[in-house]
């Protein structure tokens, strides 16, 4: 069977060519994707905003905490106190004895090592200081410090001016780095709006000085045994209060 159908040939630019209807381009969108266009547009817009703020996010994530720059650490440190002595003194005053007694109490609580009594050598008050040192030693012994833990030493002074008696001992303390360090010019920090390097150092040092037992920073203490008598009183009060509330409801 012969197919007599044929496709007509239309010359370009002819009248028939000019009468041909123009086809309209149609874009097909899958039905499952058509309802998600607003959500996709929102996601794309959010991605553009996040990419524009990328630098700010990185800058804000840089740690700038004074507790990181000036941490409180538990380490060995030296405790000391100076006791001024006048050239004409023949012993300790009552106020000096009280101050020394407080220092010795702290030593007995925090250390079991050597406590030193350092007196000046070559100063105008070295004689008065030597007399006061003997009284300080007797005070320490009366407070329970072993004699073999007390060390008497002398230090040379650069001039003949009066010098104090210094009491020192080593113990584990809570401490921070020294304050007053300025590694960078704080006037140049105007764009990032960060706090300066020395910021918070004094607060950290004051907090470390108030810690009575530095070992509390390392871990909790063990629990004391339970008090059965106190526990009984608490339960009795609880039951009595429950009974009163129940009577009020009735």
Query: What per-residue confidence (pLDDT) applies to 1?
Result: 45
For the segment 115-141, what is each residue's pLDDT rounded down to a tens digit? 999 999 988 998 999 999 999 999 999
Other C-beta atoms lying within 10 Å of the C-beta of residue 39: 9
Q: How far, in Å, CA of 246 to CA of 249, rounded?
A: 5
What is the chain's mean pLDDT, rounded? Answer: 79
What are phi and psi for residue 144, nearest 5 degrees? 105, 10
223: which 2 tokens? 């629990």
Write the pLDDT tens digit of every residue in 201-217. 999 999 999 998 999 99
Per residue in 154-170, pLDDT (tens digit) is 998 877 788 999 999 99
3-class secondary structure, 116: strand
d(CA 80, CA 168): 4
Check residue 35 and report its DSSP letter. T
Q: For the residues 63-88, what does the mean pLDDT come to?
A: 90
* Selection from 131, 132, 135 nearest residue 143 by Cα: 135
CATH architecture of 78-172: 2-Layer Sandwich (3.30)
HSE toward the beta carbon, residue 217, CA cutoff 13 A? 17
Q: What is the pLDDT of residues 18-30, one digit of tens each?
A: 555 544 444 444 5
Rg (CA), the chain: 43
Q: What ranges in the chain are assigned the alpha helix state H?
A: 15-18, 31-34, 37-52, 54-60, 66-69, 94-110, 126-142, 201-209, 228-249
Give the contacts of 65 (CB within 8 A, at least 6 positions apart): none
Output phi, psi for 67, to 5 deg: -70, -25
Decide: 169 and 116 in contact? Cβ < 8 Å: yes
Q: What is residue 7's predicted lDDT score, i.e. its pLDDT?
A: 45
């Amino acid at each position: 069977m012969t197919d007599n159908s044929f496709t007509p040939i239309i010359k370009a630019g002819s009248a028939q060519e000019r009468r041909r209807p123009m086809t309209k381009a149609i874009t097909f969108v899958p039905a499952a994707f058509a309802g998600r266009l607003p959500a996709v547009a929102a996601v794309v817009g959010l991605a553009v905003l996040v990419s524009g703020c990328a630098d700010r996010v990185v800058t804000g994530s840089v740690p700038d905490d004074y507790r990181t720059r000036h941490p409180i650490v538990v380490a060995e440190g030296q405790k000391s106190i100076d006791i001024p002595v006048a050239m004409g003194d023949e012993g300790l005053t009552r106020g000096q004895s009280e101050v020394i007694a407080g220092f010795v109490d702290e030593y007995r609580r925090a250390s079991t090592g050597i406590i030193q009594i350092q007196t000046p050598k070559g100063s105008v008050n070295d004689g008065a200081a030597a007399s006061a040192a003997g009284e300080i030693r007797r005070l320490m012994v009366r407070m329970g410090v072993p004699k073999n833990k007390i060390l008497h030493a002398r230090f040379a002074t650069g001039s003949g001016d009066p010098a104090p008696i210094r009491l020192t001992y080593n113990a584990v303390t809570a401490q921070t780095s020294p304050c007053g360090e300025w590694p960078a010019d704080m006037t140049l920090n105007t764009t990032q709006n960060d706090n300066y390097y020395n910021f918070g150092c004094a607060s950290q040092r004051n907090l470390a000085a108030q810690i009575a037992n530095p070992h509390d920073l390392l871990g909790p203490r063990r629990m004391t045994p339970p008090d059965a008598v106190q526990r009984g009183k608490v339960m009795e009060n609880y039951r009595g209060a429950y009974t009163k509330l129940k009577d009020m409801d009735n």
